[in-house]
Structure 1
Amino acid sequence: MVLNNKEVSNRIRNIRLNLGLTMEEFGNQLNTSKGAVNNWEKEKSLPNKERLKKIAELGNMSVNELLYGSFAIFTLNLVNEVKKEIMNERKIKLKLTNGGKRISNDVISICEEKGLSYENISEIKNIIRQVILDEISEGNYTVDSRFATSKKHIEDYFRKYLASDKEHVINDNALKDSVNCFFEIDIPIEDMDFMTVYMRNIYYYEDSNGYPINSKETYISFLKDRIEYSKKKINDKDVSSMEKSAFEIILKIDTKTLKEIQ
């Protein structure tokens, strides 16, 4: 696992600051210079093994925690490392909800049962790999599970979701445009968000109303348009307080989503 020098440097700096020491005073405790401490905190170099051990002791943590962060952070970084490996191997796109935290928590539980720690990187990565591959084989890719893997998986899921309403006739063009849109966006797919875009696309194909939402770019345009519409409604004196509250919620959600995908 590749060290994140920036994170290591930040942890060293935080230990020094928590001790209330200047760089010079910190260096004196480690039998080194102010310049060496400055280099560590500026990501120019890392301490040797002896000094890493001493710094960890001063920070009341293990050397592994100093280098890799808490075990939760360590595991989450491994999850994302394995995710990239699988994406490259299988030529697919994986979207992990909450940045992979759900899987990380599952893996941490397994590690606790098996007594695995920082030193067992290979075994932990194998566990993560198996968990991810099991999810893929089960077709789990939505926010309620964990992944969005391929356009086909997304389409199959929402085609089945739409088919549950026997009175609804699926519009294939609207469905495919909606799938293309969300496949480009690197955030978990909420059923409600997908349905909003799908219904908007139906209006386009049936009434030539507006524009199709079939890409990240068009989804951003849609969010911006809806944000402006919500603001107008919130400031409209003729709109009831109940309606304004609803628009305020929509505005908050759309603003947050726009920030995440831009």
Structure 2
Amino acid sequence: MGILKLKDGTELYYKDLGQGQPLVFHHGWPLSSDDWDLQMMYFLNKGFRVIAHDRRGHGRSTQTSEGNDMDTYASDVFELAEALDLKNAIHIGHSTGGGEVIRYAAKYGAKRIAKAILISAVTPIMLKTESNPNGVPMEVFDEIRLQTATNRAQYFRDFTIPFFGYNREGAKVSQAVMDNWWRQGMMGSIKAHYDCIKAFSESDFTQDLKDVVIPVLIMHGQDDQIVPYETTAEIAITYLKNGKLILYPGFSHGMPTTEAEILNNDILSFINS
């Protein structure tokens, strides 16, 4: 475990375990590096070096009031990769973290990144606009903002239900998984969480996807109730020069947790391909 002091004074908490080729994990909103426990253990036991950080304002990193935007997130990753001298790294991002990965890869990663994996990612853009007419309406994100600002503790509890698909018939509901999600969320800064909603919903990653030449794997559940695959994964793959798409029937947004064994094996196959 470590703390990296960034150029603006923000302290970034990170985990760095093992030896071998580095895998860097980027978590989703409003979570922390703890959300990658099942992947960290799996790949550590496969002989990889596994690294995960708490995004600024999230988890154990500084609760920043400024810089809670995608460009700054990517710059923070650049500073971390430089400080750890990462080479031939594979960056794996879930949801908001997928946007962070592709922005980092496009702007900074040419010399240090070998492959990227986007899981349930917000790329290329979530928000409904004139150029993205099938996106999610602004009213949805305004409601997330309102609930985060005024009712965060209860809202985060409620959010776990669609996040993990626990509202589907036959779902195996785990209270411990829901509690762990809530624990991670409540560790972070309410201001950073509020600002991050704009970052994950309005950031446009179209050019980032077009600019990267490394192999990119997109993984998305077809029952994702948080980030619809039809307007993200199926569009993002069309912009990639060297992309692969895997869609998972019935899988939820939280599939790295609920379907960890399947995803871990598919990630390993992509790494070894």
TM range (shorter): under 0.3
TM-score, normalising length: structure 1: 0.25
Which structure is richer in relative contact order (CA contacts within 8 A, separation 6 or more)? 2
- Normalized per residue, the structure richer in helix is 1
